[in-house]
């Protein structure tokens, strides 16, 4: 009722102050946001990847071997620095199968309470069906400590030149051991 979008990761066991805030806000809508969730006034890039002809640390996966999605590193169509990751398909997938590019990075040098934002430039060429979604996930050991996706919130379909999309996690938890950035291809290209 109080929050639109993905409510499954609104707060977790790693956010006792956030849980307390939401309970207080339930009875008093003028409750002040905890300091870690207030607007951030400065930013710093902690990871920026320029895709090369041999992308390091990026992995391509598909949830079914019969899925006809094909990955490549394109040197013909790109937004910056000569290459981009690509996924192509000739027929639609069923809703429960998809392909994706993903990268996992260690969260070095990020202060607790920082807002994390993932920005991705995506070019679409006749993408239909489920479309594309991006995900930013923070893991604490084997647990998902924070999760944000464009799926169900931003419709990434159709035909468009490179367009920047973003997702953010408002509060970086001290217990996070790795960050994962993923671009899911759920449609047909």
What's the pLDDT tens digit per position in 96-117?
788 888 988 888 888 877 888 8
| pLDDT tier, 9 (very low <50, low <70, confident <90, very high otherwise) | low
Q: Of 103, 51, 59, 101, nearest to 75 (Cα)? A: 51
The matching CATH number, chosen from 2.60.120.310, 3.40.50.620, 2.60.120.260, 2.30.110.20, for 40-185 is 2.60.120.260
Residue with tokens 């006034």: 41
Residue 55 has pLDDT above 90, yes or no: no
Cα 69 to Cα 34, 62, 97, 140, 189, distances in angstroms: 44, 8, 10, 31, 9
Q: Quick one: pLDDT at residue 119?
A: 87
DSSP state at residue 35:
G
Average pLDDT for residues 19-31, to the nearest whole number? 84
Give the model confidence (pLDDT) of 159-174 as tens digits. 999 999 998 888 787 7
Q: Look at residue 171 in the predicted model and tell me its pLDDT.
A: 78
Q: pLDDT at position 161, please?
A: 92
Strands 116-140 and 143-149: antiparallel
Q: Strands, E, within the chain: which ranges?
A: 59-62, 70-74, 84-88, 99-105, 116-140, 143-149, 156-169, 178-185
Note the pTM of the prediction, 2 decimals: 0.74
């Amino acid at each position: 009722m109080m929050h639109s979008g993905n409510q499954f990761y609104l707060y977790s066991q790693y956010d006792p102050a956030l849980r307390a805030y939401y309970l207080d806000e339930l009875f008093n809508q003028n409750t002040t946001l905890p300091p870690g969730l207030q607007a951030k006034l400065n930013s710093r890039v902690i990871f920026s990847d320029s895709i090369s002809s041999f992308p390091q640390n990026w992995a391509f996966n598909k949830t079914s071997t019969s899925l006809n999605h094909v990955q490549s590193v394109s040197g013909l169509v790109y937004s910056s620095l000569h290459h981009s990751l690509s996924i192509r398909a000739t027929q639609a997938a069923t809703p429960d199968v998809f392909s994706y590019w993903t990268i996992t990075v260690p969260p070095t040098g990020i202060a607790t309470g920082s807002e994390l934002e993932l920005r991705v430039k995506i070019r679409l060429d006749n993408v239909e069906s489920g479309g594309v979604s991006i995900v930013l996930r923070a893991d604490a050991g084997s647990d998902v400590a924070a999760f944000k996706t464009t799926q169900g919130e931003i419709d990434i379909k159709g035909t468009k030149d490179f367009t920047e999309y973003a997702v953010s996690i408002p509060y970086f938890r001290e217990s996070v051991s790795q960050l994962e950035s993923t671009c899911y291809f759920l449609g047909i290209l």
